[in-house]
Amino acid sequence: MPKLFLKYITAALTFALAGSFASAEVLESPADGGSVSVNYNGSFSYTVTIPASVTFTNDETNIERSLSASDVVLDEGTELHVMVESANGFKMVNKDGYIDYKMSVNGHDYPASGGVPLLTVEAGEKSGWAILAFSTEFSGERTGYTGNYSDTLTFTVEVT
């Protein structure tokens, strides 16, 4: 019984292998050679985690939040950049006026004009992080700041 089973397996492998060679390029003698296209379709992937919110209070005028990139897979020679743009130029606004605030990245002031990456991760690195520190001169002792003041920070991710 094992010999019969072995014959069926041998025959099945022979037909399977013959089928896989059928699609190969056949070179006839005296051909100089042949060519085959070899391709790679690169792709990138990552997870970027941004702060959910930043809320100043009378007692809390300095707030730290983290920004991170994890599970980063990039093509060789590329970089992941996380950028931010403030809708109001780093001012919290309402109908009566505004309150300035600042943001620093890993201890360095971030320019109000933006355009500078908050975080850069190079190909081959699997993760990266930054500490974002938000501060305002707002004080609970100051009057005239009633109501809700807000700004919107828009984070974007680029792979270049």
More confident residue, 15 or 149: 149
pLDDT at 115 over 90: no
**pLDDT tens sequence across 73-106:** 999 999 999 999 999 999 999 988 899 999 999 9
97-100 and 91-94 strand pairing? antiparallel
Task: Identify the band that residue 9 occupies on the pLDDT scale cut at 50, 70 and 90.
Answer: very low
pLDDT at 13 over 80: no
Range of the domain at 96: 45-159
Distance CA 129, CA 140 (A): 32
What pLDDT was estimated at residue 17? 39
What pLDDT was estimated at residue 25? 54
Q: Name residue 94's beta-bridge partners.
A: 97
* Cα–Cα separations (whole angstroms), residue 119 to 53, 83, 95: 18, 7, 33
What pLDDT was estimated at residue 39? 76
Give the CATH number for residue 97: 2.60.40
Look at residue 29 and tell me if it is in a domain: no
What mean pLDDT do residues 35-55 have?
87
Look at residue 145 and tell me if it is in a domain: yes
Task: Identify the band that residue 109 occupies on the pLDDT scale cut at 50, 70 and 90.
Answer: very high
On whether the pTM is more than 0.85, the answer is no
Look at residue 9 and tell me if it is in a domain: no
The answer, yes or no, to whether the previous bond of 30 is cis (omega within 30 of 0) is yes
**pLDDT tens sequence across 24-35:** 555 555 556 667
Look at the chain and report how many structural domains it folds into. Answer: 1
| Phi, psi (deg, nearest 5) at residue 33 | 150, -170
